[in-house]
Structure 1
Amino acid sequence: MRAYGPQLSRRGFLGGSLLFVAGAAVGCTTSPTGGGSADAKATLNVWFHAYGEAGTQQAVTRYATAFTKANPDIAVKVTWVPGDYTSKLNATLLTDGAPDVFEIGDFSEALARRGQIAPLDEVYGSAKADFNQGDLDLVTVDGRLYGVKTLDDVMMLYYRKSVLAKAGIAPPATFDDLVSTARALTTGDTKGLFLGNDGVGDSPIVAVWSNGGELVTDGKAVFDSPQAVAAVTGLKRLHDDRSLLLGFTTDWWDPAAFVQNVVPMQWGGLWSMPAVKAALGDDFGVLPWPAFRPGGTPALRVGGWTSCVNAKGRNVAAAKRFVQWLWVEQTELQKDWAESYGFHIPPRKSVAATADKLSGGAAKETVRIAARYGRGNLGTWDTAVSTPFIAAATKIVGGQGDAARLLADAAAQAQTALDKQRS
């Protein structure tokens, strides 16, 4: 899951903080700063964004209770941050009130290069080999590990088996198939496909990947390549056919449009699968974004959240201990976090192997296609880099300019941001 717009919007708008000392709640505040206890040598302020899945806030406070019981010299204040988490975090990191431990969406190399987050190599210890290699690669900057992935979120295409079968249509295997299927399933009252309220969502990213293109390579913005131009231009066909649902009451991150029979195909996340299954039973399947051309490679997005330690905080050693205890040592809690509040894939291979709720049906298929076709945004893909690309893609699908020129201009803007990351 990502740390900008659509990803955050799927989360709920809950608020509040709880301070736990030796397993008991001793204070409550809505302030995201400070706190302490005479009974502890250190008080950690740990930030989470406001997850929308029911039970998540209670889970993290329960984890804090267990930690302080095991480590009575360290108090933990859980701060549950509603709204635009990323903007609030970035602003707070510039102040003395910055949290000791915080989660981020798509990992940012810039935080490591600025010395804002601490290297966590020793936190992994011998468990390092048990983590998914892609998750390790994500948080590696100049050979050091700067975060611990807490969950892997898979974003893929849901489709209604019965609707496609009734129309005599096989699940789309290429982008041409997706276009024709969306068109065929569009009627006077129903659109064939929901990618997001803006008609864009993740589609430009996965479309480029599915045509053999890249977004950033070796610190260079390369989404103005011929492969990228062709893929993003191809998305315009879906808009020209008027087969996309636009402006629904919730965005792509919520399965409402799919489970309420508003659309027979929707881009969505693994986290929504319990709700989809509850509504539709087994009448749904999952697919990666189809290959742009026959013989090409499908793609889907694997995001998620990463726990980091504030290198400039007052309690770095205690903060590292919290991250190590929860996200490295406590495999049962990691399993609980991954499969009890929506579905997510645990970053540790041994934990993922024991996640019973991911071991069958569409959930198992999601895990399989994620392992085969999953791609994650690089640590350089922050808002300043991604925004010009998405803006250009939005104009292209809307027929508002030449695709090659728009993407070249966007790549130049993104390159300026990339250069600043390393300056």
Structure 2
Amino acid sequence: MQKKILIVDDDTSFGMMVSGFLKKKGHDSVLSGNVSGAVDHLKKGTFDLVLTDYRLPDGTGMDVLEKSKQFSSNTPVVLITAYSEIRVAVDAIKKGAYEYITKPVNADELLHVVTKALKNNRKNPSSNSEYISGNGEEARRMEEHIRLVAPTEVAVLIQGESGTGKEYVARRIHQLSNHADAPFVAVDCGALTPEIASSELFGHIKGSFTGAVDNKTGHFESVGRGTIFLDEVGNLSYEVQVKLLRAIQERKARRLGSNTEFTIEARIVAATNDDLRNSSMNGSFREDLYHRLNEFQISVPPLRARRDDLLKYANYFREKAAAEFGKEIEGFSEAVLGIFERYEWPGNLRELRNVVRRSVLLTQGDFVEKASIPPELEIPSVKTDQELNLSDARNATEKQMIEEVLVKTRHNKSETARLLGMDRKTLYNKMQKLNIDY
């Protein structure tokens, strides 16, 4: 079946080349050169996939991502970015992007990612629930905690940086639980706007609000006695937090516009890369909801803290990529392994997977050589004294500005956030980071 793809790139020749390539693969595409044009297309029609460059004349690919999620929360968005902007790509994943591709774009890699994105729906993620137990001390401790809590009905909060594999941990808990024979449904809370969150979680009945043309079953109802995974739960609006708390406490909920309650039987597992404890203390996340979700906490360590497992994961991704691309590759050269060991992996397992998959695609021999990996991996990540001084100067300036506005508003946090052009959660995080008194 032909799929409709929106391509957003100000490089017309590149956009037309990608469009022509996808057309040969049986897909229809629409090309836009900027954010505003992309928004117009998103308003007018439905797309199966959005493929956007990061740097655009009137904004960034993050703006396209935000608008795409606003108009259709389930449409996968793939970001194209320079490898030097890896942290941008990681942030995009955190905010709901399906995947990212680094420049220069390889045709085989592009087709692979596009095909995979079109097959997968973020609301009903891939059934691939493979979980790899690590060999390091922290990995063994995490596995022990998973096995301890899985058979219980205790609510679990999974804490960890973006890309560390929190959903895989949640699926592991589901597999070892008494709910394993029922569905596992992952909900990307970061992609839920306040306007659609209640409908997505609890459903609605026809006519309950403008645009509700049919009845809709929410995730809590559709999952039955399965497991519902609330990813990036810290991004839920305060209003939705209240509804979620009530539903968890009463184990009952209602569709929007309905007077009939349904029983919640699901096992609840949540995840975040924020410090929800601090968020609950400063008021940006409900403290009572935090305690409801955090009956047991599992911390997923970043890849840089799991050096003992790095080679195990790299080889696993190598074998999978080799099978996908029909290649026989025995391993990595010593030079590549050395670079992998020295690199900090800010994007964690997700970044490692992408790097390995791309390198396998480019490899012609039996081993992945240095020429097949991004050269940026060799750039030292340690900041220089000059960079540290600049960072300190920026922090001092930002702290002074926030304190001046707080005095002006008589410490009204909402008004301060509005005047500074940020939301309350961001303000609280900055105040904590800069040691500003509440």
TM-score greater than 0.5 by the shorter chain? no
Structure ID, larger Rg: 2
TM-score normalized by the length of structure 2: 0.27
Larger helix percent = 2
TM-score normalized by the length of structure 1: 0.27
